[in-house]
């Protein structure tokens, strides 16, 4: 099904990346009618900070709890029960619209060179190849494939997320240079894309039981046996990493009418003091694979973007909203230092500020 007036090149991208015209039209009408607005992002109900015991700290190194978790993680990784999924489909608008995975991150090596290289280093130390899958998008797939082919790494598994079209605030098509404006509708696509691509079946056929998910631009989110083991000790389908805030904005664990889950910043009520929650979501998780073989009802968030100085609307879903549907462990991890797990690079200036910390972290093996 083609949209009226869409040029051939745009239509080819829509066809290739699973554009859903019926879903798009339904969402477009909700924007046009005012049913979807920034105000509808806000959750209904009584929002409160998590309880003190809702957030579990990663065990201190060399403690009995750390030794147990680390041993469990090493065993699971050595037995091939753990895979890694790297989210590499973002359009990196704050980074100049480049394919961030291919950008030099440190010492002449790209984000993907480090990300894939660190997993390969761990696998070599454990004597087991660790499966890695990259989720790309229409904006990143071709360049990411070319870049990975130039690296001295094992070929990862590949899958792509879907594509959609930006809207005006009135609910019409947003145009750039007379053509519909494309975007990737958030990493909530991770879950259906794993199933539709057949990758969920591939993992299960290889006896993978858990997947560790992280952003391509967070080099701190390495596969760490202690983190994997903490997930296994907790025994819940989902472990979501959180870190202590240092002026950070974004999602965080909260209780809504007593229920615990992750909220994005726009979902908090306007009067809620988010500083009451000392930690935030780093978008790094470990997920039990058998819990993902189902459909999840994820909320559509109304996101305003500035495109060529004009207001555009994107409707996005985020995969960690499944924390409201799966029992979740919120694991507090260190953000800096040799065991640091949160080094986000959203703008070029962030690289300059993070290089010393990245070197310290990457110099240390997760097995040390």
Q: Are strands 182-183 and 259-263 parallel, antiparallel or unpaired?
A: unpaired
How far is C-alpha 356 from the chain's CA centre? 24
Q: Does residue 248 sit within a domain?
A: yes
Token duo for residue 352: 């300059």
Q: Are strands 328-332 and 55-57 parallel, antiparallel or unpaired?
A: parallel
Its pTM stands at 0.94
Asked whether 151 and 109 are in contact (CB, 8 A), the reply is no
Whether 93 has a pLDDT exceeding 90, the answer reads no
Q: Does residue 347 sit within a domain?
A: yes
E-strand ranges in the chain read 47-48, 55-57, 82-87, 104-106, 109-110, 132-136, 157-160, 164-165, 175-176, 179-180, 182-183, 210-215, 238-244, 252-256, 259-263, 279-288, 301-307, 310-316, 328-332
Whether 9 has a pLDDT exceeding 80, the answer reads yes
- CA 258 – CA 254 distance, rounded (Å): 9
- For residue 58, give the nearest of 66, 68, 48, 50 by alpha carbon: 66
- For residue 157, give the nearest of 200, 186, 106 by alpha carbon: 200
Structural domain including 64 reads 48-363
Query: Percent of the chain, pLDDT > 90?
Result: 87
- CA dist list (Å): 236 to 1, 227, 231, 317: 42, 13, 7, 23
Q: Does residue 210 sit within a domain?
A: yes
- For residue 311, give the nearest of 2, 27, 17, 37 by alpha carbon: 37
pLDDT tens digits, 331-353: 999 999 999 999 888 788 888 88
pLDDT tens digits, 236-293: 999 999 999 988 878 999 999 999 999 999 999 999 999 999 999 999 999 999 999 9
- For residue 84, give the nearest of 241, 287, 239 by alpha carbon: 287
Asked whether 144 and 138 are in contact (CB, 8 A), the reply is no
What's the whole-number mean pLDDT along residues 229-236?
98
pLDDT band at 97 (very low <50, low <70, confident <90, very high): low
Q: Angle 358-362-366 (CA atoms, 0-180°, nearest 5)?
A: 135
- CA 71 – CA 313 distance, rounded (Å): 47
The sign of the torsion formed by the CA atoms of 23, 27, 33, 36 equals positive
Q: How many domains does the chain have?
A: 1
Q: Does residue 272 sit within a domain?
A: yes
Q: Does residue 25 sit within a domain?
A: no
User: 54, exposed or middle or buried, with CB in 10 Å at 0-12, 13-18, 19+?
Assistant: middle
Q: Are strands 182-183 and 164-165 parallel, antiparallel or unpaired?
A: antiparallel
Q: Does residue 83 sit within a domain?
A: yes
User: What pLDDT is recorded for position 350?
Assistant: 85
pLDDT tens digits, 142-188: 999 999 999 989 899 999 999 999 999 999 999 999 999 999 999 99
Query: Percent of the chain, pLDDT > 70?
Result: 97
User: What pLDDT is recorded for position 347?
Assistant: 81
Q: Does residue 35 sit within a domain?
A: no
Query: In a 3-state reduction of DSSP, which class is residue 83?
Result: strand
- For residue 225, give the nearest of 85, 119, 357 by alpha carbon: 119
Residue 243: CATH number of its domain: 3.90.550.10
User: What pLDDT is recorded for position 2?
Assistant: 46
pLDDT tens digits, 299-319: 999 999 999 999 999 999 999
Q: Does residue 11 sit within a domain?
A: no
Q: Rounded to 10 degrees, what is the CA torsion of 166, 168, 173, 176?
A: -70
């Amino acid at each position: 099904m083609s949209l009226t007036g869409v040029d051939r090149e745009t239509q080819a991208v829509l066809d290739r990346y699973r554009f859903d015209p019926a879903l798009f039209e339904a969402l477009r009408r909700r924007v046009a009618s005012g049913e979807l607005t920034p105000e509808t992002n806000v959750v209904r109900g009584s929002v409160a900070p998590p309880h003190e015991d809702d957030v579990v700290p990663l065990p201190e190194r060399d403690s009995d709890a750390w030794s147990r978790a680390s041993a469990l993680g090493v065993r699971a990784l050595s037995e091939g029960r753990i895979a890694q999924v790297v989210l590499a489909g973002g359009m990196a608008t704050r980074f100049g619209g480049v394919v961030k995975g291919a950008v030099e991150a440190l010492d002449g090596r790209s984000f993907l060179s480090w990300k894939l290289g660190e997993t390969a280093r761990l696998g070599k130390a454990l004597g087991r190849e660790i499966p890695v899958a990259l989720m790309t998008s229409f904006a990143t797939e071709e360049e990411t494939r070319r870049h990975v082919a130039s690296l001295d790494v094992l070929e990862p598994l590949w899958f792509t997320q879907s594509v959609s079209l930006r809207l005006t605030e009135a609910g019409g098509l947003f145009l750039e240079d007379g053509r519909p404006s494309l975007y990737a509708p958030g990493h909530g696509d991770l879950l259906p894309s794993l199933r539709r691509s057949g990758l969920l079946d591939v993992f299960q056929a290889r006896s993978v039981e858990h997947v560790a998910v992280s952003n391509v631009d967070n080099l701190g989110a390495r596969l760490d046996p202690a983190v994997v083991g903490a997930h296994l000790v907790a025994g819940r389908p989902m472990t979501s990493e959180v870190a202590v805030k240092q002026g950070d904005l974004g999602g965080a664990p909260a209780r809504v009418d007593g229920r615990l889950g992750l909220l994005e910043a726009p979902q908090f009520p306007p009067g809620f003091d988010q500083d009451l929650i000392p930690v935030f979501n780093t978008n790094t998780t470990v997920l039990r694979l058998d819990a993902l073989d189902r459909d999840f009802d994820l909320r559509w968030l109304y996101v305003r973007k500035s495109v060529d100085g004009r207001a555009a609307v994107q409707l996005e879903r985020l995969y960690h909203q499944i924390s409201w549907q799966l029992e979740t462990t919120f694991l507090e991890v260190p953000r800096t230092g040799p065991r640091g797990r949160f080094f986000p690079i959203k703008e070029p200036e962030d690289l300059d500020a993070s290089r010393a910390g990245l070197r310290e972290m990457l110099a240390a093996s997760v097995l040390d």
